[in-house]
Amino acid sequence: MLAKMTVKNQLTLPKAVVSRFGGVEYFEVSTDGSSIVLRPLQRSRADEVRERLAQLGIAEQDVAAAVDWARENPRP
């Protein structure tokens, strides 16, 4: 199988390869000196939390404001 690099340094992976990693959006990219190595990254619990916050309409600045409030109003 071949993958061609575009002028923007993008690679299209062959369908036969990608189909083995269903649902994977991100790959860790490394090199061993002479080869490029791609490792699939699984969704983390943090990704699930971020998705749920987005569904609830809670933005990053809302979380930051809540943290600031909690720091200013410590519990006894």
The arithmetic mean of pLDDT across residues 11-40, rounded, is: 89
| Domain match, 36 and 48 both | no
Task: Look at residue 48 in the predicted model and tell me its pLDDT.
Answer: 80
Instruction: Report pLDDT digits (tens) over 60-76.
Output: 899 999 999 999 988 87
| Domain match, 28 and 9 both | yes
| Domain match, 75 and 51 both | yes
Q: Per DSSP, what are the bridge partners of residue 39?
A: 28
Provide the domain count of the chain: 2
In whole angstroms, what is the distance from residue 17 CA to residue 44 CA?
A: 23
| Domain match, 48 and 38 both | no
| Domain match, 37 and 4 both | yes
Domain range enclosing 7: 1-42
Strands (E), the chain: 26-31, 36-41
